[in-house]
Amino acid sequence: MSMVDNEGFCYLMKTMDSRYTVPSCTYFTNNVIPLLYKKASQNMDDLAKCNNLALTTDSWTSHATESYLTITEDYIVDSDWQIKSAVLQVYESHTSAHLSEELKHAAKEWKLEWPKVTISGNYR
């Protein structure tokens, strides 16, 4: 059983907004997931065409004191000179000690070449 078909989840959503109907698992399978795949595939194609990109890290802690790290890419595709941005990864329970490894993992997973990459962060 998927989350969207869970009776308790549907009750919660109906309680939050009685006008909202949770889309079915089939809807996500047939519509949302293929769209996300298409966007990720286009992002990979764009990255292959760009000469340089910037990775930005942003870390925060939730009200429940859970820590998170987001790695975002910003780049310009040479063919159309439009600035593009995408979230590559969101990590839970990050520490600054593992930041380098998480950046390397994201770069490897997205097939980023290090000479093309500049890294910045919200260091305070």
Residues 34 and 55 in one domain: no
Per-residue pLDDT at 54: 84
Residues 38 and 11 in one domain: yes
Residues 86 and 43 in one domain: no
Residues 29 and 87 in one domain: no
Residues 88 and 123 in one domain: yes
Range of the domain at 61: 50-124
Per-residue pLDDT at 70: 87
Per-residue pLDDT at 31: 94
**Does 124 score more than 60 pLDDT?**
no
Residues 36 and 72 in one domain: no
- Number of independent structural domains in the chain: 2
Residues 60 and 105 in one domain: yes
Residues 83 and 44 in one domain: no
**Percent helix, strand, coil in the chain (nearest 5)?**
45, 25, 30
- 80-122 pLDDT, tens digit per residue, is 788 888 888 888 876 777 787 888 888 888 888 766 666 766 6
Residues 68 and 43 in one domain: no
* DSSP SS3 for 61: strand
State how far the Cα of 23 lies from the Cα of 5, in Å rounded to an integer.
Answer: 9
Residues 68 and 111 in one domain: yes
Residues 41 and 102 in one domain: no
Our CA angle for 20, 23, 26, nearest 5°, is 170
pLDDT band at 8 (very low <50, low <70, confident <90, very high): very high
Model pTM score: 0.65
Per-residue pLDDT at 16: 94
- 22-63 pLDDT, tens digit per residue, is 998 899 899 999 999 998 888 888 877 787 888 888 888 888
Residues 11 and 38 in one domain: yes
